[in-house]
Amino acid sequence: MIHQLIFAAPKPGMTEEEFHRYWVEEHAVRYASRIPQIKRYAVDTRVALPEDDGEPLWNGVAEIWLENEEEQLASLQTPEFLQGARLDEPNWAAFWRSVVLDTDTEVVVQGRPENEPQPGVKVIVLGKRREGMSRDAFRRYSRGTHAPLAAAIPGVRRYHQSFTRDSWYGISEPPFDVAYHLWFDSTDTLRAARRSAEQTRAEADYKNFLDERYVHTLPVRQHWVIGPEAR
């Protein structure tokens, strides 16, 4: 299953609130969700926290699940995409700022079954492997060494690692090699976790396998449009 992540930002002149509302209530429902090949679809809207200074690179993430490459290619040729979702993008998104990753997602902390109520906030951490480190070595380190450190952070209810698919490396070097997903019950739980010794240890480990210049963190709320069970 392809787990596609699309990081997006609002078009000039649109507020973040307007951007989130249009994406969740208009674009997702009227256009993107009608593409028949999409099995599951969620929109993650950014959560602004007091300690997060500066303008974010992205204000939300689309999560799209497709069965395989053939289904993905077919989806891009449908009228629902060409005459619907694609044409609607300039109405709300600064598409030139979007970043797309096709990933294979692995579960580290299972958490509750997805058809049950889920924790209230998720953190997505984007990472690029450090220079000189092979892709295989990076993934081994991420799975075997870093994953236990992140899973030990207080309040983590679910934890997934999404690795950029091998096919992307045959074209060029992708902008990111991994996206980590960590769920917490609330923003208060997340903020407490950020002050913990376990969080400090997990972040200190970045230097061992990530290029810290390209680590980006985005707290979000996940809104299911199709799912969590596949249609």
* Cα separation, 124 vs 220, whole angstroms: 8
Determine the structural domain holding residue 192 and report its residue range. Answer: 2-226
User: Is residue 81 situated within a structural domain?
Assistant: yes
Q: pTM of the prediction?
A: 0.95
What 3-state class would DSSP assign to 162?
strand
76 domain residue, yes or no: yes
* Helix (H/G/I), strand (E/B), else coil: 141: helix
Q: In this structure, is residue 77 part of a structural domain?
A: yes
In a domain, 231, yes or no: no
Say which CATH number the domain at 133 has.
3.30.70.100
Q: Which amino acid is at 130?
A: R
Q: For residue 135, tell me if it sits in a domain.
A: yes
Place of tokens 């984007």: 126
Residue 99 lies in a domain: yes
Structural domains counted in the chain: 1
Structure confidence at residue 171 (pLDDT): 86
Instruction: Please report the pLDDT score of residue 116 as a whole number.
Output: 74
Report the chain (231 residues): mean pLDDT per 10 consecutive residues.
Answer: 98 97 98 98 95 90 98 98 97 96 97 79 97 97 98 97 96 95 96 97 98 97 93 88
Q: Let me know if residue 29 belongs to a domain.
A: yes
* Distance from the Cα of residue 123 to its chain's centroid: 9
Residue 128 located in a structural domain: yes
Grouping H, G, I as helix, E, B as strand and the rest as coil, residue 102 is strand
